[in-house]
Amino acid sequence: MKTLELAAQNTQNSNVTQWVEEMAILCKPDHIFWCNGSDMEKEELTCEAVDKGVLIQLNQQKLPGCYYHRSNPNDVARVEQCTFICTQTREEAGPTNNWAAPEEMYRKLYGLCEGSMQGRTMYVIPYLMGPIGSPMTKVGIELTDSIYVVLNMRIMTRMGNVAYEQLGDSKDFNRGLHTMLDVNPDRRYIAHFPQDNTIISVGSAYGGNVLLGKKCLALRIGSFLGRKEQWMAEHMLIMGVESPVGEKTYVAAAFPSACGKTNFSMLIPPKQFQGWKIWTVGDDIAWMKPGPDGRLYAINPEAGYFGVAPGTNMTSNPNAMKTIQRDTIYTNVALTPDLDVWWEGKDGPVPPKLTDWKGNPWTPDSKEKAAHPNSRFTAPMHNNPALAKEVDDPQGVPISAIIFGGRRASTIPLIYQTFNWIHGVYVGATMGSEMTAAAAGTIGQVRRDPMAMLPFCGYNMGDYFTHWLKMRKHIKYPPKIFSVNWFRKDDRGHFLWPGFTENMRVLKWIVDRCHGRCAAQETPLGWVPKAEDFDMEGLEDHLSKLNEAQEIDLEEWKREVISQDELFIKLYPDLPRELIFQRELLIARL
| Minimum gap (Å) between residue 284 Cβ and ligand SAT | 6
Number of residues that bind ligand SAT (CB under 6 A): 8
Name the segment binding ligand SAT (CB under 6 A); options: 61-69, 170-178, 207-215, 378-386.
207-215
Nearby residues of 548 by Cβ (< 8 Å), 6 or more positions away: 490, 496
* Residue 157 interaction partner, one of ligand SAT, Mn ion, none, beta carbon < 5-8 Å per kind: none
Identity of the residue, 147 or 211, whose beta carbon is nearer to ligand SAT in the bound complex: 211
CB of 319 within 8 A of CB of 383?
A: no
Task: Choose the one of ligand SAT, Mn ion, none that binds residue 434, judging by a C-beta under 5 to 8 angstroms depending on kind.
Answer: none
Task: Evaluate whether 452 touches 434 at the Cβ level (below 8 Å).
Answer: no
Helix (H), strand (E), coil (C) string for 480-545: EEEEECCCCECCCCCECCCCHHHHHHHHHHHHHHHCCCCCEEECCCCEEECHHHCCCCCCHHHHHH
Known catalytic residue: 259?
yes
Least Å from the CB of residue 395 to ligand SAT: 26
306 interface partner picked from ligand SAT, Mn ion, none, CB below 5 to 8 A per type: ligand SAT
Nearest approach, Cβ of residue 235 and Mn ion (Å): 6
Task: Give me the residues paired with residue 335 across strands.
Answer: 341, 355
What minimum distance in Å lies between the beta carbon of 306 and ligand SAT?
Answer: 5
Which of 69, 215, 407, 513 is close enough to bind ligand SAT by CB under 6 A? 215
Minimum separation from the CB atom of position 555 to Mn ion (A)? 33
**Residue 178 binds ligand SAT (CB under 6 A):** no
Residue 78 touches ligand SAT, criterion: CB under 6 A? yes
Single out the catalytic residue among 27, 82, 86, 259. 259
| Partner from ligand SAT, Mn ion, none binding residue 208, C-beta < 5-8 Å depending on class | ligand SAT
Strands (DSSP E) found in 174-261: 174-179, 189-193, 198-202, 232-234, 236-242, 248-254
Q: For residue 338, with 0-12 CB atoms within 10 Å meaning exposed, 13-18 middle and 19 or more buried, which class applies?
A: exposed
User: Helices marked H in 349-460 — which ranges?
Assistant: 421-429
Among 116, 166, 201, 257, binds ligand SAT (CB under 6 A): 257
| Residues 343, 340: Cα–Cα separation, whole Å | 11
| Residue 26 binding partner per list Mn ion, ligand SAT, none, with a CB distance cut-off of 5 to 8 Å that depends on partner kind | none
Which does residue 214 bind out of ligand SAT, Mn ion, none, counting CB within 5 to 8 angstroms by kind?
ligand SAT
In angstroms, give the least distance from the CB of 456 to ligand SAT. Answer: 8
Apex CA 214: angle with CA 321 and CA 266, to 5°? 30
Q: How far is the CB of 239 from ligand SAT (least distance, A)?
A: 17
289 binds ligand SAT (CB under 6 A): no
| Cα 345 to Cα 112: distance, rounded to the nearest angstrom | 41
Distance CA 517, CA 525 (A): 21
Q: How far is the CB of 214 from ligand SAT (least distance, A)?
A: 5
Single-letter residue type at 377: F
Count the site residues for Mn ion by CB under 5 A: 2
- Entry field: residues in the chain: 590
Give the pairing of strands 480-484 and 415-417: antiparallel
In the list Mn ion, ligand SAT, none, the entry touching 78 (Cβ below 5 to 8 angstroms by class) is ligand SAT
- By C-beta, is 273 or 487 nearer to ligand SAT? 487
Q: What is the rounded CA–CA span in Å between residue 171 and residue 184?
A: 33
Sole window of 67-75, 187-195, 206-214, 578-586 interacting with ligand SAT (rule: CB under 6 A): 206-214
Q: What sign for the dihedral angle of Cα 323, 325, 327, 328?
A: positive
Tell me the residue type at 429: A
Distance CA 403, CA 506 (A): 11
101 DSSP assignment? -
Distance, in Å, from the CA atom of 493 to the CA atom of 123, rounded to the nearest integer, reads: 49
For residues 336 and 357, the answer to whether their CB atoms sit within 8 Å is: no
Map the footprint of ligand SAT across residues 301-360, applying CB under 6 A: 306
- Can residue 207 be called a binding residue for ligand SAT (CB under 6 A)? yes
69 binds ligand SAT (CB under 6 A): no
- Output DSSP code: residue 387: B
**Which of ligand SAT, Mn ion, none binds 289 (CB below 5-8 Å, type-dependent)?**
none
304 binds, among ligand SAT, Mn ion, none (CB under 5 to 8 A by kind): none
Which residues ranging from 257 to 296 are in contact with Mn ion (CB under 5 A)? 257, 284
Pairing of β 341-342 and β 232-234: unpaired
Q: For the CB of residue 559, give the shortest distance to ligand SAT in the complex, in Å.
A: 28
Quote the CA–CA distance of 424 and 465 in Å, as a whole number. Answer: 11
Q: According to the binding rule CB under 6 A, does residue 197 interact with ligand SAT?
A: no
Q: Kindly indicate which of the ranges 12-20, 66-74, 256-264, 500-508 contains the residues binding Mn ion, using the contact rule CB under 5 A.
A: 256-264
Which of 37, 140, 208, 269 is in the footprint of ligand SAT by CB under 6 A?
A: 208
Planar angle of CA 326, 329, 330, nearest 5 degrees: 110
Give contact residues for ligand SAT (rule: CB under 6 A): 78, 207-208, 214-215, 257, 306, 438
Residues carrying an active site annotation = 259
Give contact residues for Mn ion (rule: CB under 5 A): 257, 284
